[in-house]
Amino acid sequence: MLNEIASDADTRMKKSVESVVEQFKKIRTGRAHPSILDSVQVLYYGAPVPLQQVANITVEDARTLMISPWEQQTVPDIEKAIYKSDLGLNPSSNGGVIRVPMPALTEETRKVYIRQARSEAESARVSVRNIRRDANSDLKDLLKEKDISEDEERRGQDGIQKLTDKYVAEIDGLLEKKEADLMEI
């Protein structure tokens, strides 16, 4: 029973870390990276689909993404989707290729993005702590029902705390890396 609670907490904490990684991908740095467009949905034959399913996205140079749609008629829809994505990007097309230049980040926008990254990291930390609270509550319930001893409960709580510390440290490391990326000129 203790192992089940610990493995469930571990799985859920991993998902919290994966979630913050996905959120960090949406915060753009000054460099071009295809994952910036992961959240863009294109209207394709009346249904919204991810941009990666209708076009090939490559990095042309350090500050430009190149999007090659598989069907020529989707170019205006892709441009419109990027404009509406709230990423602050201005695509331009010439023929069958769309180029998306990454605007240089000002000091002010860098600080806004760092604040956003810190907020996302704090949300992930809170999520991990909530998972710890749930797991500890499960352990207390088992103790009340006399399914485990007090020593086993203490060991279980120590194990859950170690997991919590591990994942919070991982989130902090990801945040540090993202902040360093954002402050790079």
Q: Domain 34-101 - what CATH class?
A: alpha beta
- Lookup: tokens for 75: 């170019």
Q: Strand 92-94: give its sheet, edge to edge.
A: 55-61, 64-69, 97-101, 92-94
Whether the predicted pLDDT of 38 surpasses 90: no
Q: What is the pTM of this model?
A: 0.73
3-state SS of the chain: helix, strand, coil percent to 5? 65, 15, 20
Q: Where are the chain's structural domains?
A: 2-26+106-183, 34-101
> If one looks up domain 2-26+106-183 in CATH, what number appears?
1.10.132.20
Q: Which of 36, 148, 19 is nearest to 89 (CA)?
A: 36
Does residue 66 or residue 87 have the better pLDDT?
66
Cβ-contact 48, 41 below 8 angstroms: yes
- pLDDT for residue 14: 94
Residues 153-168: what's their mean pLDDT?
93
- pLDDT for residue 105: 76
Q: How confident is the model at residue 30 (pLDDT cuts 50, 70, 90)?
A: low
Q: What SS3 class is residue 60? A: strand
Residues 77-106: what's their mean pLDDT?
84
Whether the predicted pLDDT of 85 surpasses 90: no
Which region, left, alpha or beta, applies to residue 45 given φ > 0 means left and ψ of -120 to 50 means alpha? left
Q: Which of 101, 110, 89 is nearest to 39 (CA)?
A: 89
